[in-house]
Amino acid sequence: MSAPQVMGHEIAGEITDIGDGVTGWVVGDRVQVIAAIPDGTCEDCLAGHQTICPNQVSMGYQFAGGFAEYMIVPREVLRVDGLNRIPEGLGFAEASLAEPLACVLNGQELARVGEGDTVVIVGSGPIGCLHVRLARSRGAARVILIDINAQRLAQAAALVQPDLTIDSSTTDPVDAVLVATNGRGADVVITAAASGAAQEQGLRMLARRGRLSLFGGLAKDAPFITIDANLVHYRELTIVGVNGSSPAHNKQALNLIATGAVPVADLITHRLPLDRLLDAIEIVGRGEAIKVTIEP
């Protein structure tokens, strides 16, 4: 992040002014803004892989973000079609969740979540909740939600209704998943938590041909895990990473929210004004919320 900076990269709002030479938008348009901005011109972008653009910059990191009454949508966003019209009837708060849902969508595409799958999500924060709902909308037969914090797990489960919850502070999650699947294991495990232990356990929960999505990154100073390479080899497992989302993912995510395929309104447990931003960050830090939105 280039400091000082206005943070906030899950952004929605209304256009109040238009820059010189900008066409296709009018004052009053309601819009959602991408967070990760690919250059659109490098080899990876041209190959259709905008999420791994090596020249990627981001709202709230290199450009002033959404925790503000007014902000500028930079030309770099417009250049890659990163400004999306919010469909009629959808609120700004709900539309702002298109950005995290876009990342979740990228993750589930790469992990090939599909019809009939048993999907395990590790981590019951807002991203974990979005994973549960998206997996359902993609036809997953069974969704299992795991967290190390029993209270947070219960709060999330009450909203997103997984088929099974596992409190990994008291239960061995690998054993529990294997028991719940008659020893077969899960088709997909997604770790939506910054936990190397969860990644290691995730691999051991997989069925043959299973996919492990390392959705959550690890701390920079402890990025190493230990895995049984023979499990990967003999069981034909796939371990897949995921880095943010593309402008196209944002459009699809906004559409999934607007059509009700992935409901998000009930995941927003707190809506605070801009002058209570620090309170909002503390609420998130204490694990009391699923999703907090700032409404300047």
Q: Of 120, 129, 193, nearest to 160 (Cα)?
A: 129
What minimum distance in Å lies between the beta carbon of 66 and Zn ion? Answer: 23
CA–CA separation, 226 vs 249, rounded Å? 32
Question: In this complex, which beta carbon is closest to Zn ion, that of residue 130 or of residue 248?
Answer: 248
CB of 247 to Zn ion, least distance (A): 12
Main-chain dihedrals φ then ψ at residue 86, nearest 5 degrees: -80, 125
Q: Whose Cβ is closer to Zn ion: residue 20's or residue 43's?
A: 43
Only segment of 46-54, 187-195, 271-279, 283-291 that touches Zn ion (CB under 5 A):
46-54
DSSP letters spanning 117-165: -EEEEE--SHHHHHHHHHHHHTT-SEEEEEES-HHHHHHHHHHH--SEE
Find the part of the chain contacting Zn ion (CB under 5 A) among 31-39, 64-72, 178-186, 225-233: 31-39
Q: What's the closest the beta carbon of residue 103 comes to Zn ion, in angstroms?
A: 17
Q: Which stretch binds Zn ion (CB under 5 A): 6-14, 37-45, 210-218, 288-296?
A: 37-45
Residue 227, interface with Zn ion (CB under 5 A)?
no
Return the residues of window 232-271 that contact Zn ion according to CB under 5 A.
Answer: none
Phi, psi of 178 (to 5 degrees): -65, -40
Per the structure block, which two tokens stand in for 126?
């807002």
Q: Which of 171, 165, 238 is nearest to 207 (CA)?
A: 238
Minimal distance, residue 79 CB to Zn ion, in Å: 11
Answer for which of 34, 35, 45, 256 binds Zn ion (CB under 5 A) is 45
For the chain, the helix, strand and coil percentages under 3-state DSSP, each to the nearest 5:
35, 20, 45
As a whole number of angstroms, the distance between CA 296 and CA 294 comes to 6
Is 281 an interacting residue with respect to Zn ion (CB under 5 A)?
no
Nearer to Zn ion, 42 or 272 (CB): 42
178 binds Zn ion (CB under 5 A): no
Restricted to residues 47-66, the positions that interact with Zn ion (CB under 5 A) are 53
- φ, ψ dihedrals at 168, nearest 5°: -80, 0
Count of residues near Zn ion by CB under 5 A:
5
Nearer to Zn ion, 58 or 255 (CB): 58
Phi, psi of 57 (to 5 degrees): -125, 170
User: Is residue 126 a contact point for Zn ion (CB under 5 A)?
Assistant: no
Among 10, 32, 35, 38, contact with Zn ion (rule: CB under 5 A): 38
- 157 is a site residue for Zn ion (CB under 5 A): no
Instruction: Measure the CA–CA gap between 114 and 167, rounded to whole angstroms.
Output: 25
Residues that bind Zn ion (CB under 5 A): 38-39, 42, 45, 53
